[in-house]
Chains A and B, each alone.
Chain A
Amino acid sequence: MSTQAAPAEFHPRWFRKRVSTWWWLGEWHYLKFILRELSSIAVAWFVVLTLFQLRALLHGAEAYARFTLRLQSPLMIALNAIAFCFVLFHTITWFNLAPRAMPVRMGGKRVPEFLVAAPNYALWVVVSVFVGWLLLRTP
């Protein structure tokens, strides 16, 4: 589908500015969007890390100890801290998207956006607390 218009008889020449490769650097709103898109890399990073963790677990206690030792290197800690911030950003922007894509109606009226987003956040907190309890409880 091509919809590109061209100059016509009565305006023989137009000026069309080429969009710079760095269009997203000039404005905070655009930069935020690009950071949000990049956050998917951090999500993928944690998925890969979890797969490696499972593999180490399958290979026995010694392999798992090696894996956790590797995670303790300053580079890995820095990398994971950055990735964690990106995942948080990813989650928040995703939850905020939900009410935009799903206009929930009750009694003929649209439910306020925050009420659609709130259950997502509530579930997030509940799951996080549960996982935290699972990891931190003393055996």
Chain B
Amino acid sequence: MADKIVLEIARYEPDRDQIPRFQSFEVPFRKEWVVLDALNYIKDKVDGTLTYRWSCRMGICGSCGMMVNGEPKLTCATFLSAYGRDAKVRVEPLRYFPVVRDLVTALSDFLVKLQKVKPWLIRHDEIPLAAGEYLQTPEQLDLYKQFSMCINCTLCYAACPVVGLDQDFVGPAALALAQRYNLDNRDQGSEERLGTLAHHDGIWGCTFVGECTRVCPKHVDPAGAIQQYKLKAALDWVKSFVLPRGHEDHREDRRKEAA
């Protein structure tokens, strides 16, 4: 007989359930299978009502994030074999997010917060098209590249207790993405982002638990991005006393441009 593994899956049907319940499914244990393969097997062969998000199956789209045995994971990159043949694997929706149905969470909160930090290139003076593209050296790219690897999978939100305790906290991914644009020499929007970032719901809400960085499947290091911004914001604050007229951010923007 082929090996089996038991998946305990959180089910929630808003029309029927007051709170989520767990349902166990037995699936074939195959060493090349990831948790998402097991979920697809259940959906195809056992229970078509099981609801979850997925798309690319290769750690790029960021839509299959779930809690696997209490850890935020991309289910397309989490092998069943990591849990052993006889283990029970518990699959739940990402922690701290409202659950819409089964393993599907509501991302509206996150999307609002993401937009708040303006994660796009902001220019005050557009260079005419004829002047050519904005050039960037490998060193300039290297400054922000790590933070640009974010796929918005929100595993870091499910790992961050501050997100759970304070629903207004902007959160790790959005703050790291803000820093990604702040560090880009083509961007001139750091001053516009300052109000959202240097705020008690922004970087100062972070208590540096560091879990966001540990669970990030793309090694973005949101905790590092936030601490770096904290240091910068604190130094700017000190500079505003020492150099009352010479510390403004737009000077830095000009410097970035000249570089």
Enumerate chain A interface residues (CB-CB to B < 8 A): 1-5, 7-8, 11-17, 19, 23-24, 26-27, 29-30, 33, 37, 97, 100-103, 108-110
User: Is B192 interfacial (CB 8 A cutoff)?
Assistant: no
Enumerate chain B interface residues (CB-CB to A < 8 A): 12, 14-15, 17, 19-20, 70, 95-96, 98-101, 106, 108-109, 112-113, 116, 138-139, 142, 161, 164-165, 167-168, 170, 196, 199, 201, 207-211, 214, 221, 223-224, 227-228, 230-231
Interface contact A23-B161, CB-CB below 8 Å: yes
Instruction: Please name all residues of chain B whose beta carbon is closer than 8 Å to the beta carbon of A97 when the two chains form the complex.
Output: 208, 227
Distance A3 CA – B174 CA, assembled complex (angstroms): 13
Distance A26 CA – B161 CA, assembled complex (angstroms): 12
Instruction: Please name all residues of chain B whose beta carbon is closer than 8 Å to the beta carbon of A7 when the two chains form the complex.
Output: 98, 106
Interface contact B116-A3, CB-CB below 8 Å: yes
| A and B contact pairs by CB, cutoff 8 A, 13 listed | A1-B168, A1-B199, A3-B167, A5-B112, A11-B100, A11-B101, A14-B99, A16-B99, A30-B209, A33-B207, A33-B210, A100-B228, A101-B228
| Closest Cβ neighbor of A30 among chain B residues | B161
Distance A7 CA – B100 CA, assembled complex (angstroms): 9
| Closest Cβ neighbor of B109 among chain A residues | A5
Interface contact A100-B221, CB-CB below 8 Å: yes
| Total contacts A-B at CB 8 Å | 91
Interface contact A101-B167, CB-CB below 8 Å: no
Interface contact A1-B207, CB-CB below 8 Å: no
Instruction: Please name all residues of chain B whose beta carbon is closer than 8 Å to the beta carbon of A19 when the two chains form the complex.
Output: 96, 161, 164-165
Instruction: Please name all residues of chain A whose beta carbon is closer than 8 Å to the beta carbon of B210 when the two chains form the complex.
Output: 29, 33
Interface contact B112-A15, CB-CB below 8 Å: no
Partner of A33, one of B112, B165, B199, B209: B209
Query: 7 closest pairs, A vs B, by CB?
Result: A5-B108, A101-B227, A14-B98, A108-B139, A13-B14, A19-B164, A15-B99
Distance A53 CA – B76 CA, assembled complex (angstroms): 60
Interface contact A5-B106, CB-CB below 8 Å: yes
